Amino acid sequence: MDSYDMSLAAAPDREPARQQYFMKRLREVVVKKSREYGRPLTACIKTFGCQMNAKDSEKLLGILLRAGFTASEDEASDFVLYNTCTVRDNANQRVYGRLGYLNRLKQKNPEMTIALCGCMMQEPSVVEKIKRSYRFVDLIFGTHNIFRLAELLFLCYEKKGMVVDIWDGTDQIVENLPASRKYPFKSGVNIMYGCNNFCSYCIVPYVRGRERSREPEDILAEIRALAEDGVVEVMLLGQNVNSYGKTLDVPMTFAELLRQVAEIQGLERIRFMTSHPKDLSDELIEVMGDCPKICRHLHLPLQSGSSRILKKMNRVYDKEQYLKLAAKIQKEIPDLSLTTDIIVGFPGETEEDFEETLDVVRRVRFDSAFTFIYSKRTGTPAAAMEDQVPDEVVKPRFDRLLKEVQQISSQVCGKDVGKTMTALVEGMDTHDPSLVTGRLSNNIMVHFPGDASDIGKLIPVMLTESKGFYYMGKKLP
């Protein structure tokens, strides 16, 4: 038995005890190495993709700090981890591009350890490609086993050669592992994992697995602890938060969860991402109306305005239903900011279909919209559909949509000039050191004179000028 096998034999079977054990063992390795090098061991995590991944990275960093690493933003670190995204092909291309750069860094420092995790690693073809063409990568794991980082990295240090650990899926939710928050005053909180919707273009259900809700007690306990630790704003995270709780032993609706979260002392603001239109209940609209702690922002992805395309997308609502829902929400909560995601160039999209999308954009008047060019994802039903739309047709449509969206959003965003609203200050302005940057309840940013002591505070700000997508403002005297 070598030392790794002995460590393995002594490890507890149950989680999180097993990972706590491996964090200690990894720490011994880290301490030994930093004595050898005569300096602390650094670790750098780069995150691609959505808030889920950002949250996962905070958990991964929490484990690394517990194991004795020093956090660094610099990729010339002793341990570099890329937490990847594969929702569109350009996310993948960015990772491959940066791997070339990491290879050059590793040639200068052969002791460097390179790891890849996240959604891209759940695709077998990606892992094959890395094994074949990126031999300098030391460790690969997926989305279902991030909680095992300490164990996997310990294995990596003890045994030579690439370590690969990808799980097809899991029903396990491991609680009570460390996390290192990026912001002291706000935090994402997972309320569910995975997705069951299988929109025909989307790879997320394949790489994130089936939908699993966390127990409400675990969510509430985490948020209470965050609030005690100074967090004033939480973002509840799930691919489709509106179906929260349906699969729990004691089912609970998302609206009910929101009510309970809103009761937590010290917590001032609640956000959530993302809402699927098909599951948005009247109860949710009611709770949002009743409860001032719930932010005046709803992200409600449209994807397409054409009922024909929505059907092919498997979105389970049509144009009329979406318009009705948006109108109802805007009527019930007039100060709410409504934002969306739109895909251009889904297979079979005609000029008429695209016009339907523009029509919805003009009628709803979104505060802002993320627009995407359809990206073919291997293994999804849409990838096998005939009549994929050629680039030269998609690009002009994309530009037309973007122009429309931007024009409307600058008009909509300007409407609150002269009003006073509360901003949560997130940091110093990156261009002007005399200004700070804050986020309004409706998710729009405001820049105003202030200093570092304002960061993390909720401050009433008079909105003096609209700059299209954000405001300039001043503190009240």
Q: Are 85 and 69 in contact (CB under 8 A)?
A: no
Q: How many residues bind ligand F3S (CB under 6 A)?
A: 11
Best CA proximity match to 298, nearest among 106, 441, 409, 415: 441
Q: Choosing among ligand SF4, ligand SAH, ligand F3S, none, which partner's interface includes residue 49 (Cβ < 5 to 8 Å by kind)?
A: ligand F3S
- Residue 410 Cα distances to 343, 361, 414, angstroms: 21, 13, 6
Q: Is 442 in the site for ligand F3S (CB under 6 A)?
A: no
- Shortest distance, position 303 Cβ to ligand SAH, whole Å: 6
Q: Choosing among ligand SAH, ligand SF4, ligand F3S, none, which partner's interface includes residue 85 (Cβ < 5 to 8 Å by kind)?
A: ligand F3S
Q: Choosing among ligand F3S, ligand SAH, ligand SF4, none, which partner's interface includes residue 205 (Cβ < 5 to 8 Å by kind)?
A: ligand SF4
Q: Are 385 and 348 in contact (CB under 8 A)?
A: yes
For residue 473, the cross-strand partners are 463
Q: Kindly tell me which of 30 and 195 has the beta carbon lying closer to ligand SF4.
A: 195
Q: Choosing among ligand SAH, ligand F3S, ligand SF4, none, which partner's interface includes residue 136 (Cβ < 5 to 8 Å by kind)?
A: none
- Shortest distance, position 42 Cβ to ligand F3S, whole Å: 25
Site for ligand SF4 in 261-280 (CB under 6 A): 276
- Residue 52 Cα distances to 38, 129, 221, 302, angstroms: 36, 25, 19, 20
Q: Is 208 in the site for ligand F3S (CB under 6 A)?
A: yes
Residues that bind ligand SAH (CB under 6 A): 87-88, 201-202, 204, 239-240, 274, 276, 301, 303, 341, 343, 372, 374-375, 377
- Tokens coding 286: 């009611």
Q: Choosing among ligand SF4, ligand SAH, ligand F3S, none, which partner's interface includes residue 126 (Cβ < 5 to 8 Å by kind)?
A: none
Decide the pairing of beta strands 139-141 and 163-165.
parallel
Q: Choosing among ligand F3S, ligand SF4, ligand SAH, none, which partner's interface includes residue 343 (Cβ < 5 to 8 Å by kind)?
A: ligand SAH
Q: Choosing among ligand F3S, ligand SF4, ligand SAH, none, which partner's interface includes residue 198 (Cβ < 5 to 8 Å by kind)?
A: ligand SF4
Site for ligand SF4 in 189-208 (CB under 6 A): 195, 197-199, 202, 204-205
- DSSP three-state, residue 405: helix
Give the Cα separation of 187 and 219 in Å (integer).
13
Give the Cα separation of 267 and 281 in Å (integer).
24
Q: Choosing among ligand SAH, ligand F3S, ligand SF4, none, which partner's interface includes residue 30 (Cβ < 5 to 8 Å by kind)?
A: none
- Shortest distance, position 91 Cβ to ligand F3S, whole Å: 6
- Residue 347 Cα distances to 65, 193, 247, 386, angstroms: 46, 28, 33, 7
CA atoms within 13 A on the CB side of 368: 12
Q: Kindly tell me which of 315 and 377 has the beta carbon lying closer to ligand F3S.
A: 377
Classify burial at 187, counting beta carbons within 10 Å of its beta carbon; exposed 0-12, middle 13-18, buried 19 or more. buried
Q: Is 189 in the site for ligand F3S (CB under 6 A)?
A: no
Amino acid at 30: V
No. of helices (H) and no. of strands (E), the chain: 14, 19
**Positions in the binding site for ligand SF4 (CB under 6 A):** 195, 197-199, 202, 204-205, 239-240, 276
**Positions in the binding site for ligand F3S (CB under 6 A):** 49-50, 52-53, 85-87, 119, 204, 207-208
